[in-house]
Amino acid sequence: MRTLVYGAGPLGSWIAARLHEAGVDVSLLARGQRREDLRSHGVVLEDSRTGAQERHDVPVVAELAADDRYDLVLVVMRKDQSEAILPTLAANQHVGTVVFVQNNAAGFVRDRAALGPDRVMAAFPTAGGERRDPVMRIMPIPQVPMPLGEADGTVTDRTRAVAALLDRMRDKRVQVRDDMDAWLVTHVPLIINHLGVYAADLDAERFARTRDARLLGVRASREALAAQEAAGIPIRPSWFRVLRVMPEPLLVAQLRAMAPTSLYQVGVIAHAAAAREEMLHLLGELGDRLDLERATTPALDRLTAIARGDAPPLPDGSRTEPLRWGGVVAWALGLLAVVGTARALRRRR
| Residues 169-213: tens digit of each pLDDT | 998 999 999 999 999 999 999 999 999 999 999 999 999 999 999
Query: What predicted TM-score, i.e. pTM, was given to this entire model?
Result: 0.91
Cα–Cα dist 109/82, whole Å: 14
Share of the chain above pLDDT 90, in %: 89
Query: What confidence score (pLDDT) does residue 346 get?
Result: 58
pLDDT at 325: 84
The confidence band for 291, taking pLDDT boundaries of 50, 70 and 90, is very high
Tell me the average pLDDT across 12-40.
97
**Whole-number pLDDT of residue 248:** 95
Residue 12 has a pLDDT of 98
Sequence spans of domains, the chain: 3-178, 183-323
Alpha helices (H) in the chain, listed in sequence order: 10-21, 32-41, 79-82, 86-91, 109-115, 157-166, 180-192, 196-199, 204-209, 211-230, 242-245, 248-258, 262-264, 271-274, 276-290, 298-308, 328-348
Backbone angles phi, psi at 26, to 5 degrees: -130, 145
Q: Report the mean per-residue pLDDT for the chain.
A: 93
- Give the model's confidence band at 270: pLDDT under 50 very low, under 70 low, under 90 confident, else very high: very high
Say what the pLDDT of residue 347 is: 60
- The dihedral over CA atoms of 264, 203, 52, 28, expressed in degrees to the nearest 10, equals 80
State residue 338's pLDDT score.
46
Q: Could you please state the CATH topology (level 3) that the domain comprising 3-178 is classified under.
A: Rossmann fold (3.40.50)
Q: Evaluate whether 112 touches 89 at the Cβ level (below 8 Å).
A: no
Quote the pLDDT of residue 27: 98
In this predicted structure, the answer to whether residue 135 has a pLDDT above a threshold of 80 is yes
Please tell me the least confidently modeled range out of 158-162, 317-321, 325-329.
Answer: 325-329
pLDDT 10s digits, 32-45: 999 999 999 999 99
